[in-house]
């Protein structure tokens, strides 16, 4: 079975490669935007802004499973580059779907809590009405709709507040700021579920295994949108506090900085963010028989992974 991983240099893509589970399940081709890979190993070129080249790559590799971890994720920049964000997060996803529908391939694709407006106060079910409040969310919603319309078999996995030991993320920003400052001001009125990439990789592989074992009727039930986030929720301030406590306990930080809770209004950004990003993940757990633990468990795991190994 040929498997194609797109976006292999991103937080999630890199975690897939480091985990190794895709390569255990088939002949894996990893693709990046420019053909260079974080570990210096060779990679295919897949720039999602180039429709023809993407189509040629799919024709050449003939994947049975396409894992799309590539995305335009610059939430603030998307406000001034919406056409490019929509090309990568919307049109390209539709093209993957169209190819997959014709060739009977499965598309595993990731979407976001930003497809919702954040006005809720209970976890969003998968079928809650979407209403993005920014360009990034609109571009990701365009991808969801294009994939659904393509007729391809798909697992559309919405996740949120993603972090890893590598890449650009809140946890790494907090650790850097903590080493530089005595006091950090953090937004305390946005709610979500911090989700580490190890959890996303393991849960995706569990879902893929179920898919591969399933008969056509079971596949029809699995086909569609699922919420793949850690359980429980917090605010950015709560997440920062937990990061500092874990990092101090494991010797990554010498001292805790003071964390000052602030409102979203006190931290203006080009893109508006949803105030409520908590997704109901019970359907994923039931459908795939895979338990999604509390977000603090993932944090503990990632902090331990960041502690330098002593011989
Ligand atoms: P990253 O930003 O870490 O990685 C995205 C990857 O996509 C990068 O490697 C980037 O390439 C690549 N990429 C960007 N543009 C193109 C392009 N034109 N062609 C090919 N590749 C491109 O994202 P994550 O790993 O965090 O996100 C994984 C998925 O999860 C995405 O679908 C994202 O929308 C979703 N998600 C992420 C959240 C988060 O908090 N990060 C929250 C909710 C959902 P390069 O390395 O060259 O820049």
Position 67 in a domain: yes
Name which of 215, 191, 195 is nearest 203 in CA terms.
195
Name the domain count of the chain.
1
Instruction: Tell me which of 114, 136, 163, 290 is the catalytic residue.
Output: 136
Position 13 in a domain: yes
Handedness of CA 193, 198, 201, 204 (dihedral sign): negative
Q: Can you tell me the distance from the alpha carbon of 259 to that of 238, in angstroms, rounded to the nearest whole number?
A: 9
Q: Is the CB of 158 under 6 A from ligand 1?
A: no
Tokens (6 digits) for 271:
């893109």
Q: Which residues, at least 6 apart from 42, have a Cβ–Cβ distance to it below 8 Å?
A: 35
Position 252 in a domain: no
pLDDT at 310: 61
Q: Is the CB of 116 under 6 A from ligand 1?
A: no
For 258, list phi and psi in degrees, rounded to 5.
-80, 130
Name which of 12, 18, 3, 10 is nearest 200 in CA terms.
12
Position 266 in a domain: no
Band (pLDDT 50/70/90 cuts) for residue 308 is confident
Atom of ligand 1 nearest to the CA of 136: 34
Tokens 């990092």 — which residue? Answer: 247
Per the annotation, the verdict on 136 as an active-site residue is yes
Kindly tell me if the per-residue pLDDT of 311 is higher than 50: no
Q: pLDDT for 170-209, tens place per residue?
A: 999 999 999 999 999 999 999 999 999 999 999 999 999 9
Tokens (6 digits) for 150:
């393509």
Q: pLDDT for 206-248, tens place per residue?
A: 999 999 999 999 999 999 999 999 999 999 999 999 999 999 9
Q: Which of 10, 76, 78, 159 to mutate to test the pocket of ligand 1 (most atoms within 8 A of CB)?
A: 10
Position 268 in a domain: no
Q: Can you tell me the distance from the alpha carbon of 130 to that of 127, in angstroms, rounded to the nearest whole number?
A: 8
Name which of 189, 211, 160, 165 is nearest 264 in CA terms.
189
How far, in Å, is the centroid of ligand 1 from the Cα of 70?
A: 5
How far, in Å, is the centroid of ligand 1 from the Cα of 6?
A: 9
Tokens 């802004």 — which residue? Answer: 49
Instruction: State mean pLDDT over 77-96.
Output: 98
Name which of 243, 238, 230 is nearest 196 in CA terms.
230
Name which of 221, 223, 228 is nearest 201 in CA terms.
228
Q: Which of 6, 33, 108 to mutate to test the pocket of ligand 1 (most atoms within 8 A of CB)?
A: 33
Q: pLDDT for 89-112, tens place per residue?
A: 999 999 999 999 999 999 999 999
Position 270 in a domain: no
Q: Is the CB of 174 under 6 A from ligand 1?
A: no
Phi/psi zone of residue 61: left (φ > 0), alpha (ψ -120 to 50 degrees), beta?
alpha
Q: Nearest 10 degrees: CA dihedral of 146, 126, 109, 22?
A: -160
Domain membership of residue 225 as a residue range: 2-163+195-231+279-293
Position 242 in a domain: no
Q: Which of 70, 190, 200 to mutate to test the pocket of ligand 1 (most atoms within 8 A of CB)?
A: 70
CATH code of residue 218: 3.40.50.720
Name which of 177, 38, 7, 204 is nearest 106 in CA terms.
204
CA distances from 74 to 185, 229, 295 (A): 22, 20, 24
Q: Can you tell me the distance from the alpha carbon of 239 to that of 151, in angstroms, rounded to the nearest whole number?
A: 39
How far, in Å, is the centroid of ligand 1 from the Cα of 12?
A: 8
Position 172 in a domain: no
Q: Is the CB of 92 under 6 A from ligand 1?
A: no
Q: pLDDT for 127-158, tens place per residue?
A: 999 999 999 999 999 999 999 999 999 999 99
For 128, list phi and psi in degrees, rounded to 5.
-65, 150
Q: Are 197 and 9 in contact (CB under 8 A)?
A: no
Q: Is the CB of 110 under 6 A from ligand 1?
A: yes
Q: Is the CB of 11 under 6 A from ligand 1?
A: yes
pTM (2 d.p.): 0.97
Provide, rounded to the nearest whole percent, the portion of the chain with pLDDT above 70. Answer: 99
């Amino acid at each position: 079975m040929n498997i194609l991983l797109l976006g292999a240099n991103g937080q999630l893509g890199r975690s897939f490669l480091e985990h190794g589970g895709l390569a255990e399940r088939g002949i894996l081709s990893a693709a990046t935007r420019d053909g260079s890979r974080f570990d210096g190993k060779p990679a295919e070129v897949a720039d999602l802004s180039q429709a023809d080249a993407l189509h040629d790559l799919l024709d050449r590799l003939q994947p049975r499973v396409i894992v799309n971890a590539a995305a335009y994720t610059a939430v603030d920049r998307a406000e001034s580059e919406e056409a490019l964000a929509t090309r990568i997060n919307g049109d390209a996803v539709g093209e993957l779907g169209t190819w997959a529908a014709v060739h009977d391939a499965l598309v595993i694709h990731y979407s976001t809590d930003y497809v919702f407006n954040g006005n809720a106060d209970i976890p969003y079910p998968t079928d809650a009405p979407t209403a993005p409040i920014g360009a990034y969310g609109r571009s990701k919603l365009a991808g969801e709709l294009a994939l659904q319309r393509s007729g391809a078999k798909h697992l559309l996995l919405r996740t949120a507040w993603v972090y890893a030991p590598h890449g650009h993320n809140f946890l790494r920003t907090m650790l850097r700021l903590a080493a530089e400052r005595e006091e950090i001001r953090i937004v305390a009125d946005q709610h979500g579920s911090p989700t580490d990439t190890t959890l996303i990789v393991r849960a995706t592989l569990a879902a893929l295994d179920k898919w591969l074992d399933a008969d056509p009727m079971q596949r029809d039930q699995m086909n569609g949108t699922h919420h793949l986030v850690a359980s429980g929720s917090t605010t950015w301030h709560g997440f920062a506090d937990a990061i500092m406590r874990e990092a101090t306990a494991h010797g990554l930080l010498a001292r805790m900085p003071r964390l000052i809770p602030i409102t979203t209004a006190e931290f203006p950004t080009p893109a508006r963010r949803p105030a409520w990003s908590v997704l109901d993940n019970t359907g994923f757990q039931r459908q795939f028989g895979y338990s999604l633990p509390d977000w603090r468990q993932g944090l503990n795991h990632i902090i331990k992974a960041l502690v330098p190994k002593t011989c």
